[in-house]
Amino acid sequence: MPLLHSCKTDDLPQCIFPYSRSNDLTPTHISWQPSANAGTHHTDRYANTELTVRRGQAFTITLYFNRPKQTGESLAFVTEIGPAPSESHRTKAVFNLSEVGASGWSAAQGPSESNYMNFTISSPANAVIGRYNLTLQVTSGNKIFSRFLGQFVLLFNPWCPGDDVYLADENERQEYVLNENGIIFVGNAKYIEARGWYYGQFQDHLLNICLTMLDLSLYYRQDPAIDVSRRGDPKYVGRVISSMINGNDNDNGVLLGKWQGSFHSHENPSRWDGSVVILQKWRQDNYKPVQYGQCWVFAGVMCTVLRCLGIPTRLVSNFNSAHDVDRNLSIDKYYDSSGKSLNISKDSTWDYHVWNESWFIRPDLGTSYNGWQVLDATPQEQSRGLFQCGPASVRAIKEGDVDLDYDTLFVYTEVNADCNRWIVYNDGTKKRVYCDTEIIGRFISTKAVGSNSRVDVTRNYKYPEGSSEERRVYKKALAKIFGSNVTEGHTESPDGRSSETVRNPGISGKFKLAEPPVFGKDITLILVLNNLSFDHKTVKVDMSASTVLYTRRAVAEILKAATSVDLGSKQEKHIRIKIPYSYYGKYLTTDKRIQVTALCEVMRMHGAKLLVEKTIILEDTNIIIKIPRRVVVNKAVTLEISYANPLPEPVNRCVLLVTLMNQQVKIHLAQLAPRERSKIYFEFTPRRTGPLQLQVDFSSDKFSHVKGFVTIAVAPA
């Protein structure tokens, strides 16, 4: 038997048929040539053993026969996918050797010997993706018989210019398709933090899980044949996946979301450091939704799935992200007359929201809308009956084309809505005390190509705030929503209730931190009030502080205070506020956020009020990871991991989780005294070169999920 090429054991020919006594031309063995094919198709890192290739690009197989092919015998191949393959649905193709069929599939014979033949098979650049059956059809005279050869998986191909997902830049392909390590930006607009995330799109079972996900969708259940036939379209696949990452439609989705209350007996969303363990748990639990996720978890898992299927995808974080339920381009938040936040509005503004962008063309909209498309798996609202969102063209969002498919208006409001604050009086009347047209959609961020740096992509989504272009687009969006005769300022009376706008109070105010806010320490704030006029003013100040979630939903009120301040002509005064650890410690969530408000009423000005607001993120005591200057593949390396108790009281049940790729080590630690710092040494052996992300998660009985990560460059031996 001739050697085809230098190969691994899985390159050796596989027996596909028992010995046949017939003299018909019959294949006996097949070599899928996995090493050669995987290398040229950029699929060599997938852990699955079956042939995995990309569409629009040729792959090679070798067939061994029971005898040489004779004159008068001809060969053809048949590819089939889905439960009811048909040529009309483009889920079945029959193509003769050396002929390009109407389907776009083709096969050609390469250099061959008497007992084997090499074949090059090519798929069209718009072929349906998924797992195919491959069959050989032998024709001899008027006799036709078929032999099943096996299965292979076909993926989207960002390296193929004819593919809808084609991405021209190789560095971007390496980042958005092949990189298994990610960075998610969280925090708030004034305190952006980086969090590590392991996508692991090539790990064990992941490809099969992603293909199964498509088959579990409600789209597939409604019409399997049509659903499979549409899987050549990345916008369709992206939309289906956005519906399947969440489990809100009783569709065996991957994750259930939860933003408040106890996570008892299930996983706190902050516990997750990557997608692989979530997807494998979903599979092990027979595709029952994993509990629980929040926006960055939904986005991280969807990025894994889309990269696994070959669609270039990245995570994007939008700071001060709006959820405009009534679609009036206004986010309305309500406070009582003492300044306490009221959870009565369906609208909300999250400190940050994470979604995905995927790269593909939009022939349904026109070439100007090609490029990055927003997909969002977080279940906020239904779109056409399902919890799904996108793809919405980023270009369409920037240009205010809110009537275009899919869910462009929803995403437009997330980055462009106005922000209104209202006082609700005991009689139910409302007065607007604040309107900000620029605060929503700030510092829209994504990971840089080839590094862990943050790249600001705000200008991809909107023109500069206050510019003539931004106002033009805003008016255009309003006209598309409400009709061409609508003007700005139409949002002043929410819910049709009696309301009015509070008059200008003639003062300004802001909160300043006296020192960085550190978890475990007292927080000192200064309310700075300025009299903007020459007139003397007496200002009544009602202050309130509450622990909140990153969605800004209040958890517990921890401070309430009132005072009065006299402001002379153009005078500035400072009011010092202290929030002790004993006030907030037991009410803080893993989001570690406190929102402080001051409602400032100028006396004898008939209700002139100023609302001042600030969200504080408490800084964790750093986890410090020290790595050697040089780390070499297949050589043991020791890291120093330092962790601390930031509290003025001892902590017990200390646990350190160290995650490297998909491997996690749980280390139980001794109790820590107040403010104590300790360290451990952690040894591992890297098994491949390139970037490797190591993540650390520290928890105790008094706090949980303090995070740290480091990216290690593993050098060749």
> What residue ranges in 277-406 does DSSP mark as E strands?
290-293, 313-323, 330-335, 341-342, 348-360, 371-375, 392-393
Residue 418 annotated as lining a ligand binding site: yes
The length of the chain, given as a count of residues: 717
Separation CA 44–CA 672 (nearest Å)? 46
State the catalytic residue, choosing from 273, 351, 376, 697.
376
Question: Which of these is catalytic: 41, 42, 323, 353?
Answer: 353
470 is an annotated ligand-binding site residue: yes
SS3 91: coil
CA distances from 708 to 90, 278, 611, 670 (A): 48, 20, 36, 20
Interhelix angle 295-309/206-216, rounded to 10 degrees, is 100
Q: Are 282 and 298 in contact (CB under 8 A)?
A: no
How many angstroms separate the Cα of 7 from the Cα of each of 153, 449, 603? 21, 33, 86
Question: 191 preceded by cis ω (within 30°)?
Answer: no
> Which residues, 6+ apart, have CB-to-CB distance to 710 below 8 Å?
625, 627, 693, 694
353 is catalytic: yes
Helix (H) or strand (E) holding 227: helix 224-229
- Asked about 295 being catalytic, the answer comes back as yes
For residue 118, give the H/E element and its range: strand 116-122
50 is in an annotated binding site: no
Residue 507's closest CA among 625, 596, 603, 617? 603
How far apart CA 340 and CA 349 sit, in angstroms, is: 16
The answer to whether the beta carbons of residues 106 and 99 sit under 8 Å apart is yes
Instruction: Let me know: does 356 contact 559? Beta carbons within 8 Å.
Output: no
Reduced to 3 states (helix: H, G, I; strand: E, B; else coil), residue 647 is coil
Among residues 649, 665, 655, 663, the alpha carbon closest in space to that of 704 is found at 655
215 among annotated binding-site residues: no
Does 303 participate in catalysis according to the annotation? no
- For residue 627, the tally of other CB atoms under 10 A from its CB is 15
Q: Which of 11, 42, 273, 295 is catalytic?
A: 295
The binding site for Ca(2+) comprises: 416, 418, 465, 470
Looking at the annotation, which residues are catalytic?
A: 295, 353, 376
The binding site comprises: 416, 418, 465, 470
